[in-house]
Structure 1
Amino acid sequence: MTSLFDATTLLAYLAAATVLVLIPGPGTAWIVAQTVAGGTRRGLQAGLGLETATLIHATAAGFGLSALLATSALAFELLKYAGAAYLVWLGIMAWRAKAEAPAAVAAPPAKAHVYRRSVLTGVLNPKVALFFLAFLPQFVHPERGMAWLQFLVLGALLSTIGFANSATLAFVIGRFGRRLSASPRLARWRQRAIGTIFLGIGVRLALQPRG
């Protein structure tokens, strides 16, 4: 790794990546929602899915997709609206879940299902895509060789930081989520709050201008 990056570059990148992870966004809301609904284990599964998506973004960036999205307004708009539509859909599903029995609302789906949905959520998260588009290339130095590998390494570091944050959220919120699930009334309001969060983020994303 020393041949690909210098210490100053790595430290600056790690600081920037940590700030990105700590800024609340769709990923944070997703971890909170999954942990409250199904406990710590489900939150960890969701976090693993999101960070798999981060590695997908890194791979795409390393092989040129970032350059395409950076220069194509159409590609950017397609990604933005796809992500916004998915978040709105999640919000609608959360609001609809309030009509179900409390046990059905709280029952977590299969781990693989949570993981797959989390991967899709992460892939359609423009905050991560824009990070790779606008900021990550500043830490890639083609003159050091294997630019694609530099993207992958930086993506893996971001993924590691992100999962550490997700795991912390899952463990902390998991302890309080069980108490919230015990009350049907709180469960209904929880679903409404989660749905409203996703709807708000989705609408905001759809209205966000490029750059």
Structure 2
Amino acid sequence: MLATLLAFLGACTLIAATPGPSTVLIIRNSIHSRRAGMMTVLGNETGVFLWGTVAAFGLTALLAASQLAYDVMRWVGAAVLVWFGVQALRAARRGTAAQFADRAAEEVTSWRAYRSGLLLNLANPKAGVFAISFLPQFVPASAPQLATTVAFAALWAVYEVGWYGVYVWFVGRLQGVLSRAGVRRRLEQVSGTVLVALGIRLAMEH
């Protein structure tokens, strides 16, 4: 079991280290505040745990097997990504130092940050399909399949909270530089463009 856990954590490290939409959103919200960044992380990892639990019950197999279900989820996920990207681009276009500070206080509340992380994760059908292909590989044949898979899903989520927490901490350390209006505007432009591009890519995938 120890060897299995080490292999699992190694795989989780590779997954977390691979940049994706969640990484972009976590960094973007962390620029506003560490609290917003951590709440985005918690929302994202709630999604990871839910996908893992659904995979444990075999329900994500339906998503993998049904082209229609996958396509519907794919278009929803693409719309969510594009929506987040457009929000970032709009913020960059109308932002000044004072406006950025006001929006950080008013718009990126803890609940809103948590909801954005959760929504972005749950709207990604690839996350569900990946969970059902990833988690069962590490469940020993002699172990209770359902309970062990859920436990691994929880471990996966907790591990990524720590991993992405480092991102939030690092962005917080650079807050003095990142709070400048010009830097903030450029980061909003970059994150918005990346999110829109990822949404378009997801929409065009088969």
Q: Which TM-score band applies after superposition, normalised by the shorter structure?
A: 0.7 to 0.9
Aligned to 2:72: 78
Pick the aligned partner of 2:82 from 88, 96, 99.
Answer: 88
1:140 corresponding residue in structure 2: 139
- Count of residues in Structure 1 that have an aligned counterpart in Structure 2: 201
TM-score, length of structure 2 as denominator length: 0.88
* Offset from partner CA, 1:105-164 (integer Å, 9 cap, x none): 34332211211121111212345323213222222356532x221221111111112111
Cα pair 1:51 1:162 within 8 Å, conserved:
yes
Give the aligned residue type for 2:124. Answer: N
Given residue 122 of structure 2, which amino acid in structure 1 is its aligned partner? Answer: V
Aligned to 1:110: 109
What code does the residue aligned with 1:125 have? N
Please say if residues 35 and 177 of structure 1, whose CA atoms lie closer than 8 Å, have aligned partners that are also in contact.
no
The equivalent residue for 2:118 is: 119
Task: Select the residue among 26, 29, 37 that pairs with 1:34.
Answer: 29
Q: Partner of 1:196 in structure 2?
A: 193
> Deviations along 1:60-99, whole A, 9 cap, x unmatched?
1122222211211222222222111100111111111121
Alignment check: 8 A CA contact 2:177 2:183 kept: no
CA distance in 2, matches of 1:191, 1:124: 22
* Counterpart secondary structure, 1:24: coil
RMSD: 1.9
Percent of counterpart pairs with the same letter? 34
Q: Which residue of 2 aligns with 1:17?
A: 12
CA distance in 2, matches of 1:158, 1:122: 14
Please say if residues 43 and 118 of structure 2, whose CA atoms lie closer than 8 Å, have aligned partners that are also in contact: yes
User: Could you tell me which amino acid in structure 2 is paired with residue 129 of structure 1?
Assistant: G
**Distance in 2 separating the partners of 1:13 and 1:114:** 28
List runs of 5+ in structure 2 lacking aligned partners: none
Contact in 1 for aligned 2:70/2:125 (Cα 8 Å) = no
Whether 1:56 and 2:56 are equivalent positions in the alignment is: no
Q: 1:24 to 1:68 in 2, by over 3 A?
A: same
Closer/same/farther in 2, CA of residues 174 and 126 from structure 1, 3 Å limit? farther
Q: Is the 8 A contact 2:4 2:138 kept in 1?
A: yes
8 Å contact kept, 2:37–2:168: yes
Contact 1:26 / 1:125 at 8 angstroms: preserved in 2? no
What corresponds to 2:40 in structure 1?
A: 46
